[in-house]
Structure 1
Amino acid sequence: MVINRSCSGVFRAQEIKNQTCNTECFSGASSHLDPNFNCSSLAMIMIMGERSLIILYAILTFLLHLKPAIGFTSRVGDDSVMCIERERQALLEFKKGLVDHHGRLSSWGSEDEKKNCCNWEGVHCSNQTGRVLELQLNAYQIDGFQRLLGMNISPSLLELHHLTFLDLSGNDFNESPIPKFIGSFSNLKYLDLSWANLSGPVPHQLENLSHLQYLNLGWNDLKIIENLEWLSRLSSIEYLDLSSTNLSNVANDWLEVVSHLPNLTSLRMLWCDPPPMSLSAFSYFNYSKSFAPLEILDLCHNQLFHIPKSFGDICTLRELYLSSNNLNGQLVELMNNLSGCAKNSLEVLDLSLNQIAGSFPNFAIFPSLKDINLSHNKLNGTLPRSIGNLYKLEVLSVSSNFLHGVISKSLFSNLSKLQSLFLFNNSLSLEFSFDWVPFFQLDVMYLTSCNLGPRFPNWIQTQRKLSFLDISDANISDTIPDEWLEDLPPTIRVLNLSSNQIHGRLPNVSAKRLNGLAIDLSANRIEGPLPLFPTNLTILKLSKNRFSGSISSLCKINGQLLTLLDLSHNILSGQLPNCFIHWHKLIILDLAGNNFFGEVPSSLGSLSQLQTLRLNDNNFSGHLPSSLRNYRSLTIMDLGNNRFSGKIPAWIGEGLPKLIFLLLGSNKFYGSIPLRLCWLKHLQILDLCLNDISGTIPQCINNFTAMAQKGKFSIDIVATIIHGNDFAYMHKYVYCAMFVLKRKEYVYSNNLGLLKIINLSSNKLSGKIPSEISDLLELVVLNVSRNNLIGEIPQMIGQLK
C-alpha cells in the first residue's frame, strides 16, 4: 500500500500491487511530509480497515500542521512577572472541565509554588503586564500525543481579555460545538481548533475576530449553515483551513466570499463537499484579481473536473494541491491553463490521484518547480527530457501510471537538487553506465517494479544520504555488495530489496545507526546462516529465501524497537531461543514453514502486544504454554501442522478475546472442545481438523456471532514508521492461508476476511450435529467429516445459504 503526499499533508491510500502469495503478502508505502514536521520518529501498528486508514491519515495530517504557517511567537513571558489573579482563577476553572490522563497540566494548581500561572504549561504572558496572551495546549508533545479530554470549552476563558493566541488542536471535546463566546476574543490573532472532535455549525460570531490572521477549524465534524458571509469580515486573515467542514448547504457564493479576503495567502479546503453548482463557478471567476496575494491553494478531495484557466493568472501562487478530485482530460491541456503568470511562481504542483491521461507537456516553461506529483493517474509515453531542465526540482513523483521506455543519465544531468524520486509501478527501465555517479544525493528512492537489473546498480551505492530505499521487484539477479551492506548510509531508515532474484550469503549488516531500521529482503534466493543485524531494528522481513540454521543470533536485536519479525518459508531449524522478552513491542511474529522443533519457550508469552502469531508448518511439540494467555490483542493464531499435544486450553477463550482466526489443525490435541472457546464472538475461522479430539460439538457454537453476520473483516496489519523529515513508510503485512475446499487447495489473502469456516474433520467427535449451528447464517464452510457423529442433520441447515 502506498501513501502519497497530497493536499498539503493529507494522505490517500491506494493499492499498488496485487500479489500472488502462498502464506503471506507484503507491500511498502511511502509519502512526502511537510518539511515543518520535526518529530524524530513515531511507530504505530494497528489492524487497518478503511475507517482505520482514514484515522491514520488524520493523525499524520495533524502532525503536519503543528507549526503555525505565520510567524507567531511560541514563548512570551518572564519568570519574574506575576499573572493576574482573575485570569489564574479562570484557567483553573477551565482545567476543571478537562480530563488530563497524561498530567500535562500538573503545573497548574493553587499551591504556593504554582501560584504564578505565567509559568504554567502552555500559558504565556506579557513581560510588562502579566496578562495572559497565549494559551497553547495542542495535543502534540515531543514524546507523543497527549490529549486533553473535555465535554466542552469552558466559558471561564472569557476572563482572558488580552488573549491573542489560542491553540487547542488535537484534543477531544466529545463532539461539542464551537462555543459562540470565542467570538468575544477581540484581540485574537491565532485560533486553531483543528482535530478537536468538535461538531455542529460554525458560529457566525467568529466574524467579530477582526484581528484574526490564522484560522484552522479543519478535521472536525463541522458544517456551515447557509453562507460564509461572516468570513468576509475577517479582513486580516492570512491562513484559512476549513478542511472536512461540510459546505453542502452553503449558498453558491462561498468562493467569491473567500476570494475577496484581501490578505489571504494560504487556503486549505479539503473534503468540504461543496455544492456541485458552486464548482462550476471556477470557470467564470477572475482569480487573478480576487486572490491577489494567494500563495497556497489546497482544494484536494472535492469534486473538481478541470483546472480553471484563471488559476494560472494568480501571479503569487507557489503551491497548488488538487489531488483526489475528478480531473480528467489531457495533461497538456490542464497545464496550459496554468501557463499564465503563475508559471513563473509555481513551486509545488500536486495533481495526483485523478484521471489525467496523455503524455507530458514541456515542463521547462515552469522554471520554479520544486515538487511535481502526478502519481496515480493514466499518463502514458515516456518521461520527457524537458524535466531535466527544471534545475530547482527536488521531488519528482510519477508513480502508478502507464509510463514506459528507457531513462538515461541525460534526464538527470541538471537535477543536482533532486532529493526524492518516485517512479514505481510503471514500465520504466533505468539504464546507466556502470561508473555513472549522479550529481544528486537522494533522500528517498522508490523504484519498485522499475527495471534496474540484472546487476546490482552501482550508482545507488553512491547515494550516502538515503533515508528510504525501495528497489523491490526490480529484476536484480546479483549478490548484494558486501562492502555496501556493511557500510549503509547512517541516515537509512528503510531498506527494501524484496521480490528480486538476489542470491548468495549476507554479510553482517551495518550497525552504525541511532534510529530504528526496517529491512525487507523477502522473496529472493539468499542462503546461508542469518547474519548479525543492528540491535535496534524495527522491522525484519526475510521470508521466502533459503536461510538455514539457528536464529539465536537474533537475540542481539535487543533495542526493544522490533515490531514485525517475518522469517517464514526458509529452512531455518533448531529450537527457538528464549529471548523474546527483548521484543515487547512485537506485533507480528511469523515463523511458518521452517524446520523448528521442540517446545515453545516461555518468554514467547511476554509479547503482550502481539496481534499475529504464526508457527504453522514446523515440528513444534509439547503443550501450549499458559503464558500465551497474555495475548489480549491477538487476532490471528495459526499453529497448524505441528506436533503440539495436550488438551486445547480453555484459556484461549478467556484470554484471547479479539481472536478472529484460530488454526490448530494437524496436531496431536486430544480431549473435548472446551466450552469457553464459545466466548470468542469475533471468531471467523476455527480449524481443529486432524487431531484426536473427542466428545460432542458444543451447543454454544452459535456464540460465534461473527459467523452469523455479513461483512468482511479487514485483517491487513500495518506497521508504520514516520520519518522525521519528509516521508512516511508503511509496511503492510497481509495474512494469507491455504484451505482445502471441495478437495482442492485454495490460497486466500486479501479476500480471506470473507471466509467463515468451521473445520472439525478427522477427529473422534461423537453425538449429534447441534441444531444451533444453523444460526451461523454466513458460514461458508462446515466440515465435520471423518468423525463418529450420529443422528439427523439439523432441519434448519438449509438456511446456511
Structure 2
Amino acid sequence: MGRRSHKLLSAIFILLLLHLKPALGFISRVGDNNMWCIERERQALLQFKKGLVDDNNRLSSWGTEYANRNCCSWEGVHCNNQTGHVLELRLDSCGLRGKISPSLIELHHLSYLSLSGNDFNNSEIPKSISSLNNLKYLDLNSANLSGQIPLQLGNFSHLQYLDLSWNNLKPVQNLEWLSHLVSIERLELSNLNLSVANDWLKVVSGLPKLSGLRLYNCSLPFITPSSLLHINSSKSLTYLDLSNNPCINSSIFPWLSNSSANLVFVDLSSNQLQGLIPNVFGNMKSLEQLILNDNQLEGGIPESLGDICTLCELYLSSNNLNGQVLGFFHNLQGCAKDSLESLHLGRNQITGSVPNFAIFPSLRELDISNNKFNGTLGERIGSLHKLEFLDIRSNMLEGVISETLLSNFPNLYCLELSSNSLTLNFSFDWVPPFQLIDLYLRSCKLGPEFPNWIRTQRNLIFLDLSNTGISNTIPTWFWDMPFELNYLNLSQNQIKGRLPNASSIFSNFAILDFSSNRFEGPLPVISSNLSSLNLSKNKFSGLNSFICSKIGGMMHLDLSSNNLFEGIPDCFMHWQELEILNLAHNNLFGKIPHSMGSLIQLIALDLSNNSLSGELPWSLQNCTLLRFMNLEKNKLSGTIPAWIGERMSSLIILSLRSNIFHGNIRSQICLLTHIKYLDLSQNNISGTIPECLDNLIAMAHKISDVMTSKYFIWNGPEYSFYTDYGSYSDNSVHIIVGWKGNVYEYGKNFGEMRSIDLANNKLTGNIPEGISNLIELKALNLSGNMLTGVIPKNIGKLEQLESLDLSRNRLSGSLPASMVGLHYLGYLDLSYNKLSGRIPTGTQLQSFDPSKFMGNARLCGPPITEKCPEDVTSNVGGSKNHQEDRDAGSKNHQGDQDEFWKCLYVGTGFGFAAGFWGVSVSLILNRSWRHAYFLMLINLKDWLYVTIVVHTTILLEMFHSWRLSQLH
C-alpha cells in the first residue's frame, strides 16, 4: 500500500476517532485542566440542574459555555483525576429547590452523594437512585422528601454511610431492607416514624460493621425482655444515639451490657429510663460522653462511673436524682475525676453545701442549676482555671461573688448566677479577663448603678440583668457597644429615663424585655430586627406614632400597663408577622381598628381593661389562628358574632367579660372544640343557653391539646407563649377568672383550667342537660340570670368540678342525688332560687356554709337549720324506723302505718309520764330510796342496755305482725 493510501487511512482513522469520541463519552480537555469530563455525565448533571430552582445562584458554574464545559470544575462536583468520571456530588445546604432528577443514574461511578439541607418540595426519593451501585455515602438529611423509603436502597452493598433524617417520609413498617447493607458503618434515621418497626433492634444488631447509630425522635417501639433473648448484641458500635424515644425504658440496659465494649458516645436522653443508674455504664471502659438528661432516674451516681478513666462529659440534668451532695461526688473520685471536663447535674433534687470542685482539675463546664445547693461558692470553684461554662442558677446559694473569684476564669464564656441570694461586688473600673457570650444575673444584688464592667464585653449575645436593683438610667455607652444582642432583659428594676431610638446592638430576631420599670416618654423607634418587645408596666405614651412607623417583622409585642391614652391607630397592616399583641391595662378608647384583621398570624390578642367601644370589626374573622382572645372590661357592644365560632375554631381561651354585648348566644359557639376557658359574664346577653355545649370536646375529654402545648402554657413560672421560633414569657398577660366565689386575676399557674362563666346576664330557660357531659369542667358559673327549670340530674358526672355557682336564678325542684359525687367541690352557691326538698346527704354538700343555700324557702336538711317535714317528729325512739319504713312501704297502706305509729307514740307517752312522775315523787320524798335508785343505775347499766334492746326488738316484731294482718 502506497504512502498516499497510508495518509488516507490515517485521515479516515482520525475522522472516525473524532466522531467516535462523543459516542464513547469523551470530550476534549479544556484549558490547563488535566481532568477529563465525560459528556454523558455532563449531560446528566445539566438535566439534574433543569429540575432545580437555584435562588442563591450556587450552580452558576454549571453551564454550556466553552469556559464551563468541563463538569469536573463545577461547584460541588469532584471527578477522578485519571478517568474524568464524576465520583462525588456535594451540594448540601445550597438552598436548592425542586426535584431529584432520575438522570443521576448516568453517574455510574458516583460514590458520594450529599443533597442534605435543600428543599425538594415533598417529592419522593427516586427509586432509580438504587442503580448507583458504587455509592458509599448517601446523605439526604433535611431535604424535604416524602413518600416511602424505596426498598431498593437495600441493594447498596457498598454503602458505608446513610442519612435519611428529618424528612417527611411515611412510617416505616419494618427495617428488613437495612439488613442487606452489609458494609454500612454509619446509619442516621432521626425523626423517621419507626413506631411499628418492631425489628429495629434485631436489624441494627445484625449489621456487622455498624459503628455509628442515630435514631433520635423515631418513636421506637417498646423493647420486651423476651425479645432480647433472640437478639445478638452489636460488638462494633462506638456511637449510639437513641434519645427522645418515649418508649425506650430501662429494658434497653441488658442489650447495652453486651454492646458496651467499644462504645465511646451514648445518648439516651429524653426517654423513660427509671430507677437507679445501672452499673452497665461502668463496663464501657472507652466511654467519653454519657448523656442521660431528661429521664426519671433516681438515687445518686454509681461508683462504677468514677472508674471510667476516659469519661470526659457526663450529662444527668432533668432527672429525679436526690440525696446529699457528698454521696454524689464521692463516687466520682476514681480516675474519672482527672478526665472529667463537663458535668451537668441541673434540675434534680440534690441537697447540701457546695462541694469542693477542686477535685476535678480538668473541668470546663459545670451545671448544678435548679437544685437545693446551699452555702457559698468562694474557694469551692476558685481553682477551676479551665472553667468556660458555669451555671448555678436557682439554688439557695448566698454570699458575695467578687471580682477576685471570677478573675480565676480567663476562658469563661457563660456565667449564670440567677435566682440565688448572691451579691456581686465589683469595683467600678474592673476589667474582667474573659469575654462572655451569656450573662444571666437575674435577682442578684447588683444595683443601684448599671454595671460599668459590661462595657468591656464585646461578644455578648444573651444578657439578663432583671430584678437586680438597678435604679439609675442606662448609660449612653451601652447603646454604642459593638456586640449584637439576641436577648436583653432589664425587667423588674427601677430604671428611669427615656429610651433612645437604638437598634445597632440587636441581632436579627432579638428579644427585648424592659417591663416593670419607670421608663417614660414616647415609645421609642425600635429596630426591625426585633422579634419580641415587652415594654409593659412602664409610663410610655405615643402609641399612634409607634404603630404607624412601619416597623414590621416583629412577632411579639406587649405594651400593656402604660400611659397609652388614645385611640388604637388603624396601621396594623404593617405588622403582619405579629403573633402576640397585648395592649391591656391602658386608657385606650374608640373602636377596634379594621386593620387589626390584617394580623393573620395572630395567636394571642389581649385588649382587656381599656375603654374600647363599638362592635367587633368583621375583619377580625381573618385571624383564624387565634388561640387566646381577651377583650374583657371594655365597653364593647353589639351581638357576639357567629364568626367567632365559625372562623376561630382554634380558640382555647375566650373572655368577653364585663362589656355590654347583647342578643343571644348563638349555636356557633359550640364549634369552639378546643375551648378550655369561656367567659361571657357581666354583659346583657339574653335568650337560652345553647343545647349543644356538650360539643366543647376539650372540656369533655382529658386530651393533650396540640395547640395548647405548641402555642402557650399557663402552668409554668410565667405565662409563656410557644411558637415555632421559640418562647415568649410575660407576666403581664392576665385573665380574669370567677373562681370559688371571688374574682381572681391569673397571669401564671393557670394550670389545666376548664371553665364556663355566663354569670350576670339575662339568660332564660333551662340549664342544658348536655352540660353534664363536660366531665373535665372545673368551674361553672351561671349565677345572676333568670334560669328556670331543674338542675340537671346528672350534674354529678362533673367529678372534676371545683367551683359551682347557680345562685340568683329561678331554678326549682330538688337537688339531684348525683351531687354527692362532686368530691372535689371547694365552692358551692345555690342561694336565692326556688329549690326544694332535702339536701342530698354526702360528705361534701354538708360542709358548705348554710348561707350558700339561703333564699330557697322549701330547701331543708343539713347544713341548713330548716328541718324537712318528715324530720319534724318526736325524738323518742322509732322515728328513724318510721322514716325508713315510710320510704319503703306501699302507698296503699300509708294511712294505716301512720295510725299505728300515732297510737304507739300516744301509749308510750302516757306510760312514760305516769311512770316518770310516780318514781320521781317517791325519790324526792324518800332519801334512802334515792340512794338505792342511783346505786342500782350504776350497777345495772349493762342490764338496762340489754333490756332496751330486747324491748325494742319486741316492739318491732309486734309492728311486723300487725302490718301483715293489715295486708291480708
TM-score above 0.5, yes or no: yes
The amino acid across from 1:372 in the alignment is L
Partner residue of 1:295 out of 288, 295, 311? 288
Partner residue of 1:441 out of 422, 435, 460? 435
Report SS of the residue matched to 1:307: coil
Give yes or no for contact 1:580–1:603 (8 Å, CA) kept in 2: yes
> Which residue in the other structure is 2:644 paired with?
652
The Cα shift of 1:415 comes to 0.9
Partner residue of 1:480 out of 466, 474, 481? 474
Report SS of the residue matched to 2:343: strand
> Which residue in the other structure is 1:463 paired with?
457
Q: Which moved more, 1:515-524 or 1:755-764?
A: 755-764
> 1 CA distance for matches of 2:621 and 2:108?
49
The amino acid across from 2:136 in the alignment is L
Give yes or no for contact 1:271–1:302 (8 Å, CA) kept in 2: no
> Which residue in the other structure is 1:662 paired with?
654
> 2 CA distance for matches of 1:240 and 1:705?
42
> Which residue in the other structure is 1:269 paired with?
268
Alignment of 1:93-242 (within 5 A): 106-109=99-102, 121=115, 131-139=134-142, 147-151=144-148, 153-199=149-195, 200-222=198-220, 223-225=222-224, 226-227=227-228, 232-235=233-236, 237-242=237-242
> 2 CA distance for matches of 1:423 and 1:505?
29
> 1 CA distance for matches of 2:520 and 2:340?
50
| Structure 2 residue 520 is the aligned partner of structure 1 residue 517 | no
Give yes or no for contact 2:547–2:572 (8 Å, CA) kept in 1: no
Partner residue of 1:308 out of 296, 302, 314? 302
Please give the per-residue CA displacement for 1:315-353, whole angstroms capped at 9, x wherever unaligned: 322212222344333334432332333333221111222
The Cα shift of 1:412 comes to 0.9
Q: Which moved more, 1:671-680 or 1:325-334?
A: 325-334
> Which residue in the other structure is 1:31 paired with?
none
Please give the per-residue CA displacement for 1:153-202, whole angstroms capped at 9, x wherever unaligned: 33211222221110012235554344123122122121112221212242
The amino acid across from 1:577 in the alignment is P
Alignment of 1:591-606 (within 5 A): 591-606=583-598
Alignment of 1:575-594 (within 5 A): 575-594=567-586
Select the structure of larger CA radius of gyration: 2
| Structure 2 residue 355 is the aligned partner of structure 1 residue 361 | yes
> Which residue in the other structure is 1:67 paired with?
none
Task: Tell me: CA distance 1:304–1:644, structure 2 relative to 1, closer, same or farther (3 Å).
Answer: closer
The Cα shift of 1:773 comes to 4.2
Task: Tell me: CA distance 1:313–1:755, structure 2 relative to 1, closer, same or farther (3 Å).
Answer: closer
> 2 CA distance for matches of 1:111 and 1:186?
24
Task: Tell me: CA distance 1:754–1:393, structure 2 relative to 1, closer, same or farther (3 Å).
Answer: closer
Q: Using CA pairs under 8 Å that are at least 6 residues apart, name the structure with larger relative contact order, 1 or 2.
A: 1
> 1 CA distance for matches of 2:770 and 2:231?
61
The amino acid across from 1:412 in the alignment is L
| Structure 2 residue 372 is the aligned partner of structure 1 residue 383 | no
> 1 CA distance for matches of 2:108 and 2:256?
48
Give yes or no for contact 2:113–2:139 (8 Å, CA) kept in 1: no
Give yes or no for contact 1:172–1:197 (8 Å, CA) kept in 2: no
The Cα shift of 1:305 comes to 2.6
Instruction: State the number of aligned residues.
Output: 689
Partner residue of 1:683 out of 653, 670, 675? 675
Give yes or no for contact 1:511–1:535 (8 Å, CA) kept in 2: no
Give yes or no for contact 1:496–1:521 (8 Å, CA) kept in 2: yes
The Cα shift of 1:568 comes to 1.0
The amino acid across from 2:529 in the alignment is N
> Which residue in the other structure is 2:345 paired with?
351
> 2 CA distance for matches of 1:700 and 1:712?
22
Give yes or no for contact 1:209–1:234 (8 Å, CA) kept in 2: no
> Which residue in the other structure is 2:744 paired with?
746
Task: Tell me: CA distance 1:564–1:228, structure 2 relative to 1, closer, same or farther (3 Å).
Answer: farther
> 2 CA distance for matches of 1:722 and 1:690?
36
> 1 CA distance for matches of 2:203 and 2:694?
56
> 1 CA distance for matches of 2:382 and 2:528?
41
Give yes or no for contact 1:362–1:384 (8 Å, CA) kept in 2: no
The amino acid across from 1:542 in the alignment is L
Unaligned runs of 5+ in 1: 1-73, 89-101, 140-145
Q: Once the two structures are aligned, what percentage of the paired residues are identical?
A: 44
Please give the per-residue CA displacement for 1:642-682, whole angstroms capped at 9, x wherever unaligned: 22222221111100001222222332323332222222233
The Cα shift of 1:711 comes to 7.4
Report SS of the residue matched to 2:213: strand
Task: Tell me: CA distance 1:111–1:291, structure 2 relative to 1, closer, same or farther (3 Å).
Answer: closer
Report SS of the residue matched to 1:445: strand
Partner residue of 2:500 out of 507, 511, 515? 507
> Which residue in the other structure is 1:569 paired with?
561
Q: CA RMSD in A?
A: 3.7
> Which residue in the other structure is 1:553 paired with?
546
TM-score scaled by structure 2? Answer: 0.65
> Which residue in the other structure is 2:610 paired with?
618
Q: Which moved more, 1:579-588 or 1:168-177?
A: 168-177
> 2 CA distance for matches of 1:555 and 1:113?
58
Task: Tell me: CA distance 1:228–1:291, structure 2 relative to 1, closer, same or farther (3 Å).
Answer: farther
> Which residue in the other structure is 2:621 paired with?
629
Task: Tell me: CA distance 1:326–1:702, structure 2 relative to 1, closer, same or farther (3 Å).
Answer: closer
Unaligned runs of 5+ in 2: 1-74, 90-94, 117-124, 714-718, 796-815, 823-968
TM-score scaled by structure 1? Answer: 0.77
Q: Which moved more, 1:791-800 or 1:414-423?
A: 791-800
Give yes or no for contact 1:698–1:770 (8 Å, CA) kept in 2: yes
> Which residue in the other structure is 1:27 paired with?
none
Structure with the bigger percentage of helix: 2
Task: Tell me: CA distance 1:343–1:112, structure 2 relative to 1, closer, same or farther (3 Å).
Answer: closer
Task: Tell me: CA distance 1:433–1:709, structure 2 relative to 1, closer, same or farther (3 Å).
Answer: same
> Which residue in the other structure is 1:427 paired with?
421
